[in-house]
Chain A
Amino acid sequence: MFSQINPRARGLLAALALLLLILPWIANNYVLSVAVLILYFAYTGQAWNVMMGFCGQLSLGHSLYVGIGGYSAAALFVHFGIGPWGGALVAVAASMLVGAIIGFLAFRFGIGGVYFALLTIAFAEFTRLGFDHWQWLGASGGFFLPVKQREFNDLLNLRGSPVMFYYVMLALATAALAFCTWLLRTRIGYYWLAIREDQQAAQALGINTFRCKMIAVLISSGMTSLAGVFFAFYYNNLFPEQIFNMGRSIEIILGPIIGGIGTLFGPILGAALLALLADGITELMAQIGIELPGIKQVFYGSCLLLVTMFLPNGVWPALARRLGLVSAPGPDPAGNTVRHPDG
């Protein structure tokens, strides 16, 4: 899977994997809760990246799938006693169905670019309004999962300690990374890249762009809904105004944008950078005795501005190049030098 990465990068990756595996033994619960958040946004960023980074379809309403996933699994758990893993299947199916409707409407009728983004926002927004009135799911009063004091971790029902949730999120993020790496090496992965770079050219080459884009939307929405399932069982309460909020969608896409859209490690690095630096700046302010509510949001905005201005491809490509983590593509078998897109 990582055969294209050089030994140094492989070493660093192994060290990171080891650190993540032993983190619960060396870190307190606060660090663990931040790590869960980083992994959560790394995962959702990876899912969003499939649609935007790989296939070039900008979605600004991914909170829709988080919400549908969370509500589906939570409702099945509360009303029918179906565990989260069974609920996850329904959640993924429901999200994919909604994704398919959005995708069909957009791609069938040639809605693209910013108009597609608006469509995704619109769907997220009217779904929020719908859930605000859906009494069976608590409407805007919120939907609550039962909470009990537990002495043991019940992985089957996702009830347990923060350490258990940490490992679940770590497994999800790792699986997403592996899945996306694999996707990019498949035929559909190359088709996506072709569509992202030039849809008309891809069509001219005989690629069924409608089908490829639909697959991207389905995969992305399905993956994102799993994050919703996690969210529901981690926080044990769901409010439409929170989970479907446009702000949540922005939070999802910030990681990949900062880290590097279309890269595999960009969403992970972006999520980590944002969480650690934002927390760091809050801590720094506290240490020097300045209380500035909202400094994190200002910081997020500034980061976005700086990255857009100075690192338009994100932090990860530049960092990896600087640290020599990925080998240069050499000449292809025919002897032609492969040109790097930055160059």
Chain B
Amino acid sequence: MNTIEKTSLATLDVGVSDATEGGADAGRRRFVGAVGAAAIVSSSSLMRPAWAQSAKLKVGVLLPRSGVQAFVGQSCQFGADVAPAVLKSLFGVDIELMNADTETNVDTARSRAERLISEGAQVLVGAFDSGASLAIAQVAEQKGVPFVINIAAAPQITEQGYKFTFRNFPTSVDLVVNGLGLARDLFLATGTAPRTAVFMHVNDTFGQANKAAIASILPKLDYLPFKLLDTIAYDPAAKDLTVEVARAKATKADFLLLVCRLNDAIILRREMVKQRWNPMGIIGPGNPGMYEAQFYAALGKLSDHCISNVPWYDPKSVVTKAIDAQMRKQFPKEKLMYHALNVGFTFESIQIVADAFKRSRSNDPKVLAEAIRQTNIASRMMLGGPIKFNAKGQVEGIASACIQNFNQRPMVVLPAASAEAKPVFPVPGYVRA
């Protein structure tokens, strides 16, 4: 071997070993022994048998409690945390939560799902995000463990032929259909008929799905009086929306149809004020952002009158009242209305598995899956018909509510049966373009 070879190998592969001495050798052996022992101890806990019988149902909850989606994941977690007490008091079902953080990462979501199952989780719920939910669904299918999705709108999830995956959340298409239907109800209730709209959407998975749904559905809805003048996409990480808002304003549309998330909604609303753009209103056809606590905190009075047509809890439901009370008890600083959708669907996903557990009297995952397929829950928190799944595992009949912000809090204005206030449209300060 020549010099350069030796040098390079020394550099690259670690190089020099010290002259060995007896003491050093003994120390090294001790070190290796300790590492080996530690490995054996840790591996024994990792490799324990999968299932353990229990009187309680072990529910693995997978949510993005850190990373980019941490805020929403933590919001969803409230719904899981109140579930054991509420389910016990209302339905007499004992459940045990096994929480796992997906870290807003599909790799982690998958390995955490594997871990929860290996530690004895009999059902899984989660995971807010479509990508993470798909990764977990594959694990659930391989292991034959039921997985109930709390929030994830990508239609493909329930089009894969999965047998153990269920979704208690509308697809993006359903969200938009419901949202646009409520827009018509809003116009009827307020006696208005806007002729034009400009459509702005965040350009991420959710925004694209909504855009596709609107593009395919809107032309077929002849009962809506408006037409879209322009469609403007913007990056979810955008820190400035000056150009996009100026372009939207230039269309002179009557109102803004907006598919947003939280941060961009705040930036966009501020920019509208800066550019003195006061359309008849801002209507979200099925998206988050404008009813969340940070939206009110960041914008104050500017948050008022924004409208979100989203799945919402029935404020008059017994389950809602129980959850509200439990939240005030467990989390005195939090308010249900700021976590409505996240808490509602996370709780319901756990309610579904608890109901299946109660009916089947079994914690065998395959029996539970069959029981979940037969779900028919009338007493629920969210607006809509009874919870029932179709053959693909997709829930049907979830309704949306028209939520309008008043005095920096979200209030149901439609449907009338659940309304807490009357809708206001056009909003105060409207200036015809």
Interface on A for B, CB 8 Å cutoff? 4-6, 26-34, 37, 40, 53-54, 129, 132-133, 139-142, 144, 146-149, 161-162, 184-185, 189-190, 193, 235-237, 239, 241-242, 260, 262-265, 279-280, 282-283, 291, 293-297, 316-317, 320-330, 332-334, 336, 338-343
Contact = CB atoms under 8 A, between A and B. Distances in A.
20 contacts: A27-B46, A30-B117, A30-B119, A31-B43, A54-B12, A129-B235, A140-B207, A141-B205, A142-B130, A144-B134, A147-B161, A185-B5, A236-B134, A279-B111, A294-B66, A296-B66, A321-B18, A328-B15, A329-B10, A338-B6
A189 B16 contact: no
Q: Among B14, B16, B45, B110, which residue has the most Cβ atoms of chain A within 10 A?
A: B14
Interface in B185-222: 203-205, 207-209, 212
Interface of B: 1-18, 20, 28, 31-32, 42-43, 45-47, 50, 65-67, 70, 73-74, 99, 101, 103, 106-107, 110-111, 114-115, 117-119, 130-131, 134-135, 138-139, 141-143, 154, 156, 160-163, 203-205, 207-209, 212, 233, 235-236
Contacts of B142: 29, 161-162
A329 to B, nearest CB: 4
Task: Determine chain B's interface SS by DSSP, over half rule.
Answer: helix
Contacts of B6: 329-330, 332, 338
B15 A149 contact: no
Contacts of B107: 37, 40
A237 B28 CA distance: 46
A322 B35 CA distance: 14
A193 B10 CA distance: 12
Contacts of A144: 134, 156, 160
B117 A29 contact: yes
A336 B7 CA distance: 12
5 tightest Cβ-Cβ pairs between the two chains A and B? A294-B66, A293-B65, A141-B208, A320-B14, A30-B114
Contact of A293 (B14, B66, B134): B66
Contacts of B20: 324
Contacts, number: 211
Nearest to A31: B46
B117 A296 contact: no
Nearest to A326: B14
A30 B15 contact: no
Contacts of A133: 203, 233
Contacts of A190: 4, 8
Contacts of B45: 283
B3 A338 contact: yes
Contacts of B118: 28-31
A322 B47 contact: no
Contact of B154 (A37, A141, A329, A338): A141
